Amino acid sequence: MDYLQDIEQNVSRLVAAYEQARRDNAALQQQLKAQDQELFNLRTEIKQKDADLRNLQIAHALTVDTPQRQKAKNHIRSIIADIDKTIDVLKR
């Protein structure tokens, strides 16, 4: 009879351990879901910050008078002048 009681006790402990493991698993699943959401939010924030940085770099490049900017402006003026000449020729 003691053997049967030992088995019942072991089964009870096993069931209790299983139930605790299920509760622990559910809690860990919730933590994982929260961490995944936080990671998603942080990645979204990083993407936005990167876009903001690129925009600031472009704005800075356009506002600072550098030789490259002046060269680009001269090149654009030259292209516009060529387009104007082409339009004048086509009008004739």
Kindly report, residue by residue over 52-74, the tens digit of the pLDDT: 999 988 787 767 777 777 887 88
Q: What is the mean pLDDT of residues 10-15?
A: 96
Range of the domain at 74: 2-91
Q: What is the mean pLDDT of the chain?
A: 90
Q: How many domains does the chain have?
A: 1
CA distances from 88 to 69, 83, 85 (A): 29, 9, 5
In the predicted structure, residue 90 carries a pLDDT above the cut 90: no
In the predicted structure, residue 26 carries a pLDDT above the cut 80: yes
Question: Would you state the pLDDT for residue 73?
Answer: 81
| pLDDT classification of 81: cutoffs 50, 70, 90 | very high
Positive or negative torsion for Cα 34, 37, 39, 42: negative
In the predicted structure, residue 13 carries a pLDDT above the cut 80: yes
